[in-house]
């Protein structure tokens, strides 16, 4: 079982968009083994400890580590489970150890959907461990439980323990699936191919799709600012999950709609928006649809759409003509 990070370029934001600024995996790595640059991702294998922090932090589930990134209970229908870190005396007894760094929001959602409600952690001193630096698990658990609480759902509890709870299942790395070599491209981190992902929606999306009402919180909420949006549709075209879309509202008019249950926080919409018209809220309620109105530009003769209430809708020219881009392109062709 390979435990070297494997990157699926079809999922990774850096592989999807040249302007992507995501560096979540590199920022999460406690040993600085991963670096993100304009050329992609680079790994220093001698520094990597296979703790799984990069996979847990990746918003697109683009990183695989031979099952470390997808831990599962060793038996089904478990309500309580336990894990032991590699530095704990029980870490290598009776099963592969797991570092707490490998547990991200998606993993928490998978635990909860499987029926787990309590997790006991047998760890060494994380403060003195090179992989324990800045461990974000407490914040992730708090954020995940805030999502559950806003839906009236039971929480997922984590606690430290000296020994495995009686009758509890053990959490272990999941089995790596067969590789799909034809569809995977690497950033040079390894020659292996990552496991094939399940066709089911991500677990966090399924959890966030539960419940009803305006009081529900979501992990990441894209919000379009009508004062800055020019209606270019770039965000709807680049979003890999359909969290931002162009739709017809109840009156038959066009509107931008967001589904934060589908948002992974990849930030591609922010990267592609040249007008900085999108913000990404954390642990917030869903944003209302943004209605669009037709605008006929006298400069270019094109009918475009702008957000209702946008100051640009009251201008004499469309956003493209106002910036002079149409004229610049014409002069360039003539020259």
**Domain definitions of the chain by residue range:** 6-203, 219-288, 294-334
How does residue 20 score in pLDDT terms, banded at 50, 70 and 90? Answer: very high
Does residue 59 have a pLDDT over 80?
A: yes
**Closest of 191, 216, 204 to residue 283, by C-alpha:** 216
Predicted TM-score (pTM) of this structure: 0.85
CATH class of the domain whose range is 219-288: alpha beta
pLDDT digits (tens, 9 = 90+) for 79-121: 999 999 988 888 777 667 889 999 999 999 999 999 999 999 9
- pLDDT, tens only, 282-294: 999 999 999 998 8
For 43, phi then psi, to 5°, come to -120, 135
pLDDT of 141 > 50? The answer is yes
Look at 130 and 250; give whichever has higher pLDDT.
Answer: 130
In this prediction, what percent of the chain has a pLDDT beyond 90? Answer: 57
Q: How far apart are CA 205 and CA 208, in angstroms?
A: 5
Q: In this predicted structure, what is the pLDDT of residue 97?
A: 84
pLDDT value at 185 more than 50: no
pLDDT at 1 over 50: no
Q: Which pLDDT value is given to residue 312?
A: 67
What values do phi and psi take at 113, rounded to 5? -65, -25
pLDDT tens digits along 201-231? 799 999 999 999 889 999 999 999 998 998 8
């Amino acid at each position: 079982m390979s435990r070297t990070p494997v990157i699926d370029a079809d999922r990774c934001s850096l592989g999807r968009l040249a302007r992507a600024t995501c560096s979540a995996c590199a920022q999460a790595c406690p040993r600085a083994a991963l670096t993100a640059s304009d050329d992609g991702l680079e790994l220093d294998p001698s520094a990597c400890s296979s703790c799984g922090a990069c996979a847990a932090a990746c918003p697109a589930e683009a990183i695989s580590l031979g099952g470390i990134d997808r831990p599962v209970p060793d038996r089904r229908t478990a309500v309580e489970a336990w894990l032991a870190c590699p530095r704990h005396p029980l870490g290598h007894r009776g099963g592969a150890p797991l570092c707490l760094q490998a547990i991200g929001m998606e993993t928490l959602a998978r635990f909860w959907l499987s029926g787990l409600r309590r997790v006991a952690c047998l760890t060494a001193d994380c403060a003195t461990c090179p992989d324990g630096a800045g461990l974000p698990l407490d914040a992730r658990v708090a954020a995940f439980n805030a999502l559950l609480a806003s839906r009236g759902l039971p929480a997922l509890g984590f606690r430290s323990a000296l020994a495995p709870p009686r009758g509890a299942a053990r959490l272990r790395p999941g089995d790596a699936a067969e590789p799909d070599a034809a569809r995977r491209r690497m950033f040079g981190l390894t020659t292996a191919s990552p496991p094939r992902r399940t066709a089911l929606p991500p677990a966090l999306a399924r959890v966030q799709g539960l419940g009803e009402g305006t009081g529900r919180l979501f992990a990441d909420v894209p919000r379009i600012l009508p004062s800055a949006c020019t209606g270019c549709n770039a965000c709807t075209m680049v979003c890999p999950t359909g969290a931002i879309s162009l739709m017809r509202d109840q009156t038959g008019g066009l509107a931008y709609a967001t589904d934060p249950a589908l948002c992974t926080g990849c930030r591609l919409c922010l990267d592609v928006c040249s007008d900085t018209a999108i913000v990404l809220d954390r642990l917030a309620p869903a944003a209302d649809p943004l209605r669009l109105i037709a605008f006929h530009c006298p400069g270019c003769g094109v009918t475009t759409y702008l957000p209702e209430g946008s100051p640009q809708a009251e201008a004499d020219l469309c956003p493209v003509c106002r910036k002079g881009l149409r004229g610049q392109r014409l002069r360039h062709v003539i020259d």
